[in-house]
Amino acid sequence: MNPELVETLTGWRRHLHANPAPTLDEGPTAAYVAARLRELGVTEIAEGIGGHGLVATLRRGGGNRSVGLRADMDALPIQEAAADLPWASTRPGVMHACGHDGHTVALLGAAALLLRDESWSGTVHLVFQPAEEGGGGARSMVADGLFERFPMDRIFGWHNWPGLPVGTIAVHDSAVMAAGRRFNIVIRGHAGHAALPHLTRDPILAAGHAITAVQSIVARSVDPMKTAVCSLTTIHGGEASNQIAAEVVLDGTIRFIDDEVGRLMIERLEAIAAGLEASFGVRAEVRVLAGVDATINHPAERELAAGAAGAVAPLRRDVGPAMTGEDFSAFLQKVPGAFVWIGNGPAEGGRELHNPHYDFDDRVLPVASSYLAEAARRALSAKG
């Protein structure tokens, strides 16, 4: 990639970092992306897909194959800590703490590379997705007819990864990221005076036992050869120090790769709720919210991705999956594809994902853009 394009992409990325748009409110980012695409010479742009999503289409030659390349656009509701950064977020309480600004601009860079390259033939759909951070953006785009309106034989995506050397590309053999479900346990008791506990049904006492029981699910119910996480993350209840509360709500998340493990954990949560009712005379309800499926690479596309990665950067094939979630999995349920990680450098010192000190390393941009363009070329070629 020539230095002029690298400089342009870096400027675009820093603009997006300074002007983040949160999940379900990505309109300004989508408009910025559309404007940059038009600057590059892209004329076929469809906007408002599944919310603020957009798809830009590149066509060349007479090839009948098609491929999708995806980037996510939304920021997180996190207050940026690095206020002295020249391109720090200007929007209070919102920042690109997961690198979606870099993902978006890398896809713009891939568009620039493909537009300048006359060696390929076929159709490339550039998918700029909203609402990845828990907003169901991928599913919304699918429901809005993404694959019917923009047919794709294959689709490829990526995520920056702190802890991998800058620019190194990791291709997983199968699972890349876990499935995830958020849940809450609502415990309803009978409120009363704290000095007369025998006249109440205490949901806080029940919640204390629930915490221990829930945290034991993975340790004592899941096969130790399987991978699972079950974490309680918030607790809400009580209004006065001299009152037994009427209700307590526990929130948490489960993560798993094997769907059978996910079903087992939900069953155990429901059994714990039933046990609370029997033991403490409270009412307990488990609510499991919709989440993401495991991100699992398709074999042929995994190998294609590895070939493309090895052609442009150092390649790793020995990196294990993470228990984080990624709604690119909704696309992989419909179309064969692969998802890779590209190193963002050391994770120490607050540089890990979702940290208020995080920043995307701009040196990743030319690697990621080159990888996406190369994956598209290979997918469209006869041997692809």
Which residues line the annotated binding site for Mn(2+)?
A: 98, 100, 133, 159, 354
Report the phi/psi class of residue 172: left, alpha or beta, with left for phi > 0 and alpha for psi in -120 to 50.
beta
DSSP conformation class of 185 = E
Alpha-carbon span 384 to 382, nearest angstrom: 5
Q: Is 326 helix (H, G, I), strand (E, B) or coil?
A: coil
Here the tokens at position 244 are 């037994």
- Other Cβ atoms closer than 10 A to 121: 16
Q: Give 239's contacts (C-beta < 8 A, 6+ positions apart).
A: 245
DSSP conformation class of 197 = G
Nearest partner of 249 among 222, 217, 284, 221, judged by Cα: 284
Residue 123, strand partner residues: 59, 66
List the binding residues. 98, 100, 133, 159, 354
Phi, psi dihedrals of residue 15, rounded to the nearest 5°: -60, -45
Nearest partner of 330 among 155, 170, 100, 151, judged by Cα: 155
Measured on CA atoms in the order 230, 234, 240, 246, is the torsion positive or negative?
negative
Biggest CA-to-CA distance, the chain: 82
